[in-house]
Amino acid sequence: MTAAGIKPAATWTSLGGRRRPPGTWAIVRTALLIGSGLMSVTPIIWIGIGSFKTLTQLLGQPLSLPTSLSFANYTGGFEQFDFLTYFRNSLIVTVCATLLTLALSATAGYALAKYNFRGRNVLFIVVLATIMIPVQVILVPIYQVVVDLHLVNSLLGLIIPPAATPTGVFLMRQYFLSVPDELIEAARIDGSGEFRTFIRVVLPNGKPALIVLAIISVGWRWNDFIWPLIVAQSPNVYTLPVALGLLSGEQAVPYNFILAMVFASMIPVLIMFLFLQRHIVRGIAMTGLK
Amino acid sequence: MQGLTAPSAIPGRRQARRPGRPPRARLAPYLFILPNLVAVGLFSIWPMLNGVRESFYSLVEGQSSSFNGLSNYHALVTDAEFWSAVRNTLEFVVGYVGCTLVLATALALLLNAQRWARGLFRASVYVPVLISPVVVGILWNWLLQPNSGVIDALLAKLGLGQPGWLVEPHLAMLAVIFVELWATLGFYALIILGGLQAIDPSLFEAARVDGASEWRQIRKITLPSLRPTLLIVLILSTITGFQAFEFLWTLTGGGPVGATTLIIQYIYDHSFVPPINFGLATAASVLLFLVLLVLTLVNFVIGRRRGAA
- DSSP, residue by residue, B42-94: IIIIHHHHHHHHHTTEEEETTEEEEE-TTHHHHHHHT-HHHHHHHHHHHHHHH
pLDDT digits (tens, 9 = 90+) for B227-240: 888 888 888 899 88
- Statement: residue B23 has pLDDT above 90: no
Of residues A15 and B146, more confidently modeled: B146
Q: Sorting pLDDT into bands at 50, 70 and 90, what band is A7? A: very low
- Statement: residue B3 has pLDDT above 80: no
Answer yes or no: do B35 and A103 touch at CB < 8 A.
yes
Q: Which helix (H) or strand (E) is A49 found in, with range?
A: helix A24-50
Q: Hey, what amino acid is at B226? A: L
Answer yes or no: do A142 and B43 touch at CB < 8 A.
yes
Q: In the A/B pair of chains, how many CB contacts fall below 8 A?
A: 296
| Chain B interface includes A244 (CB < 8 A) | yes
The shortest CB-CB distance from A111 to any of B29, B120, B131 is to B29
Q: What is the pLDDT of residue A253?
A: 78
- Statement: residue B41 has pLDDT above 50: yes
pLDDT digits (tens, 9 = 90+) for B169-223: 888 999 999 999 999 999 999 989 988 888 888 888 888 888 888 888 888 888 8
Report the pLDDT averaged over residues B67-89: 90
Lowest mean per-residue pLDDT among B2-6, B17-21, B112-116: B2-6
- Statement: residue B279 has pLDDT above 80: yes
| Chain A interface includes B132 (CB < 8 A) | yes
CATH of A83-240, one of 3.40.50.1000, 1.20.1440.120, 3.40.50.2300, 1.10.3720.10: 1.10.3720.10
Q: 3-state secondary structure string, B175-209? A: HHHHHHHHHHHHHHHHHHHHHHHCCCHHHHHHHHH
The shortest CB-CB distance from B46 to any of A103, A139, A145 is to A145
Report the pLDDT averaged over residues A56-64: 78
- Statement: residue B302 has pLDDT above 80: no
CA A151 to CA B43: how far, in whole Å?
Answer: 12
Q: Give B-chain residues touching A37 at CB under 8 angstroms.
A: 120-121, 124-125
Q: How far is CA B76 from CA B55, B84, B207, B222, B278, in A?
A: 11, 12, 56, 45, 11
CB B65 within 8 Å of CB B59 = yes
- Statement: residue B14 has pLDDT above 80: no
Q: Distance from A148 to chain B by nearest Cα, in Å? A: 11
Q: What is the pLDDT of residue B135?
A: 93
- Statement: residue B19 has pLDDT above 60: no
- Statement: residue A202 has pLDDT above 60: yes
Answer yes or no: do B107 and A36 touch at CB < 8 A.
yes
Classified as helix, coil or strand, B301 is helix
- Statement: residue A29 has pLDDT above 70: yes
Answer yes or no: do B134 and A241 touch at CB < 8 A.
yes
At the top level of CATH, the class of B74-186+230-308 is mainly alpha
pLDDT digits (tens, 9 = 90+) for A90-106: 999 999 999 999 999 99
Answer yes or no: do A133 and B45 touch at CB < 8 A.
yes
Q: What is the pLDDT of residue A9?
A: 45
φ, ψ dihedrals at A153, nearest 5°: 60, 35
- Statement: residue B13 has pLDDT above 80: no
CB A239 within 8 Å of CB A89 = yes
| Chain B interface includes A160 (CB < 8 A) | yes
Report the pLDDT averaged over residues A185-192: 87
pLDDT digits (tens, 9 = 90+) for B264-276: 999 999 988 888 8
Which is nearest to B267 in space by CA: B136, B85, B56?
B85
Q: How far is CA A244 from CA A70, A211, A259, B193, in A?
A: 22, 29, 10, 34
- Statement: residue B119 has pLDDT above 60: yes
Report the pLDDT averaged over residues B148-162: 81
- Statement: residue A12 has pLDDT above 50: no
pLDDT digits (tens, 9 = 90+) for A113-124: 999 998 899 999
Q: Sorting pLDDT into bands at 50, 70 and 90, what band is B308? A: low
Report the pLDDT averaged over residues A237-264: 88
Q: What is the pLDDT of residue A13?
A: 46
Q: What is the pLDDT of residue A87?
A: 93
- Statement: residue B15 has pLDDT above 80: no
ipTM of the complex: 0.83
Report which DSSP code applies to B132. -
Q: Which helix (H) or strand (E) is A221 found in, with range?
A: helix A207-223
Q: What is the pLDDT of residue A8?
A: 45
- Statement: residue B86 has pLDDT above 70: yes
| Chain B interface includes A132 (CB < 8 A) | yes
Q: Sorting pLDDT into bands at 50, 70 and 90, what band is B64? A: low
Q: For the stretch B16-48, what's the b/e string if a residue is b when 16 or more beta carbons lie within 10 angstroms of its beta carbon?
A: beeeeeeeebbebbbebbebbbebbbbbbbbbb
Q: Distance from A204 to chain B by nearest Cα, in Å? A: 17
Answer yes or no: do A249 and B253 touch at CB < 8 A.
yes
- Statement: residue B10 has pLDDT above 60: no
The separation between CA B223 and the C-alpha centre of its own chain, rounded to angstroms, equals: 23
Task: Tell me the range of A8-22, A49-63, A195-209, B91-105 where mean pLDDT is highest.
Answer: B91-105
Contacts of B285 (CB under 8 A, 6+ apart): A137, A138, A139, A140, B51, B55, B267
To probe the interface with B, which of A12, A138, A227 has the most B CB atoms within 10 Å? Answer: A138
Q: What is the pLDDT of residue B32?
A: 94
- DSSP, residue by residue, A114-129: H---TTHHHHHHHHHH
Report the pLDDT averaged over residues A132-136: 83
Q: Hey, what amino acid is at B58? A: S
Q: What is the pLDDT of residue A77?
A: 79
Q: Hey, what amino acid is at A169? A: V
Q: Where are the domains of chain A?
A: 83-240
